[in-house]
Amino acid sequence: MDTIFSQRRHAKRYRQIVRVLASHGLSGLTSSFDVRARLRRALIGGLAAEPSVTVIHGRSLRAMHVRRAMEELGPTFIKLGQILSTRSDLLPAEYTEELKRLQDDVPPAPWESVRALLQEELGRPPEEVFATFDQVPLAAASIGQVYAATLHDGRGVVVKVQRPGIRPVIEQDLSILGDIARVASNRVPMVQRADVVGFVGEFGWILRAELDFVREGRNADALHDGLKRIRGIRVPEVMWELSTSRVLTLERLEGIRVDRIDALRAAGHDPHQLVHRIVASLSHQVFNLGLYHADPHPGNFVVCEDGTIGMLDFGQVGSIDDRLRERLLLLALACAERDPTRIVDEMSMLGAVPAGWDRKSMERDIAHLIGRYVGVPLRDIPITDAINDVMAMIQMHGLRLPAELALMAKTLSMTEALARQLDPDVNVVEIVEPIIRQSMHRFYSPGFWVDRLKARPLEVMMLSAALPGHIQRLLSRIDRNDLTFHIHYDELPETLRAMNSMVNRLAMAIITAAAGLSWAVLLLAIQPGIRSWTGIAFVMGFAVLVLMALNVLARIWRNGR
């Protein structure tokens, strides 16, 4: 019922989505919208037919249409595609590769609307707040656009301004995506198993967080603090007095884009050293800080005059908590020891294991994957290829990785691609390996665990006081042979209801069949006249049998759906 109300409330946007999908030959996807039949006929009739799955220059034509449709549908769908491009555990490789090409360059919003937003957020016109403010943006994307400005003290800054009116559009699209996910989950078991509703909710949280420029400023501050001791890396300072939830003012870092190799060499910079610095910095962020720049494409790095690498744009910043980092380190150890059983243990701890999961089959596939890289020097293993192999296997076995891990895998792949673009002979693994080993040593050092225990003094004291009593009671119960176990199965009530329904259908079918046989035997034995009261009773009994049989068939058919 809520979905129907939402469709009526957002009818215009629904029509637009259906038109765009149909124009790209994706009208089959609109069946999940549950839009009224007359609306579908009016919108889809006469539009382009769905294309066959054709490959052009190694790229799937259908995947290309999906990407183009997302670009046409605007910011919410562009961001959705960018997130899905990291989820190799959810989508086939041809789709994730195509979605990585999503472009977020759009015409800038009119200066009048931007100026009004700046005045509303900062309390004064931009002409008063800044000494100079360039009205032509440096860059314009679907959510925000960036302007160059100068403070009254002469410092150069960049001002990121949220696109006026973008928030209601995104909220409307998130509501529609939630409706589609719920309808599709109710109708398609595979969609329900993939927890698409949960994914859409997670995506909504990520997108709303990206709309909050205060959060982006805090990310920049955290990376600034975490990297200030790393030589050659610079994170701009946030001007908090000129920042709000819709305006973010940062120190301006002047330099050469990191992918302009000829300009860098002409300025006296060595691309090989720059690559080493970028990869080491991002690895340090992932494995030591637990907070990392998650969009390492060339446009987000500039090389300053003194050779320092400046990092830009902190809208996408990933985080990994201590628990997940510990599991990743244990997984790395299991991979180093080439132990399929332990690898499967750690992967199952990292991902959601579906019902009916075949552990032996996954162990066998892990062993085959290990065999593919046995004897290959570590420096000759491309990170991207290894990640893609692992993601393909995870998808095949139906595991769903945490979003944090998928984002980290995407970041590592982008980092390797950037590194090879700047220096084709670079060995990314050789740069990353010492940082991972350093993290492992820290993980196994006594000081690390002492610090962890110091952070929870009350829990440690309570456990220390209660543990002897618990152990004594446990040993006493074992000695009296009085130890019992209680197992709780979360899906037991649902399973019992399903079994009860199945038994009821079976019983009803048996009763109907027995009654039918009895009716036939009595009919042959008595042979009543058609117009006698016994004949009428037999006809009524036959009608009841037919109704009972139809009821059994209807319940079987309904359950089979």
Phi, psi torsion values for 427, nearest 5 degrees: -110, 95
Q: Are strands 59-60 and 132-133 parallel, antiparallel or unpaired?
A: unpaired
* Nearest CA-CA partner of 314 in 202, 236, 403: 236
The DSSP result for 214-262, as a single string, is HHHHHHHHHHHHHHTTSTTEE-PPB-GGG--SSEEEEE----EETT-HH
Alpha-carbon dihedral sign for residues 151, 154, 155, 160: positive
Alpha helices in 354-402 (DSSP H): 359-373, 383-396
Token look-up 């952070």 returns: 455
Alpha-carbon dihedral sign for residues 478, 484, 488, 489: positive
Could you give the CA distance from residue 381 to residue 398 in angstroms, rounded to a whole number? 26
User: Is there a contact between 301 and 310 (Cβ–Cβ < 8 Å)?
Assistant: yes
Q: Which two tokens stand for residue 282?
A: 């991002």
Could you give the CA distance from residue 89 to residue 394 in angstroms, rounded to a whole number? 6
User: Is there a contact between 327 and 346 (Cβ–Cβ < 8 Å)?
Assistant: yes
CA distances from 339 to 331, 389, 390, 438 (A): 10, 17, 15, 22
User: Is there a contact between 193 and 398 (Cβ–Cβ < 8 Å)?
Assistant: yes
Amino acid at 330: L
Q: Which of 173, 295, 313, 423 is catalytic?
A: 295
| DSSP β-bridge partners for residue 156 | 150
The DSSP result for 252-317, as a single string, is ----EETT-HHHHHHTT--HHHHHHHHHHHHHHIIIIISEEES---GGGEEE-TTSPEEE---SSE
User: In sequence order, which residues have a C-beta less than 8 Å from that of residue 330 and are 6 or more positions away?
Assistant: 346
Q: Is 495 exposed, middle or buried (0-12, 13-18, 19+ CB in 10 A)?
A: exposed
For the question of residue 295 being annotated catalytic, the response is yes
Helix then strand then coil, % of the chain, to nearest 5: 65, 10, 25
Query: Cβ of 65: how many Cβ atoms within 10 Å?
Result: 19
Collapse the DSSP code of 199 into the 3-class scheme (helix H, G, I; strand E, B; otherwise coil) and give the result: helix
Residues belonging to the active site: 295
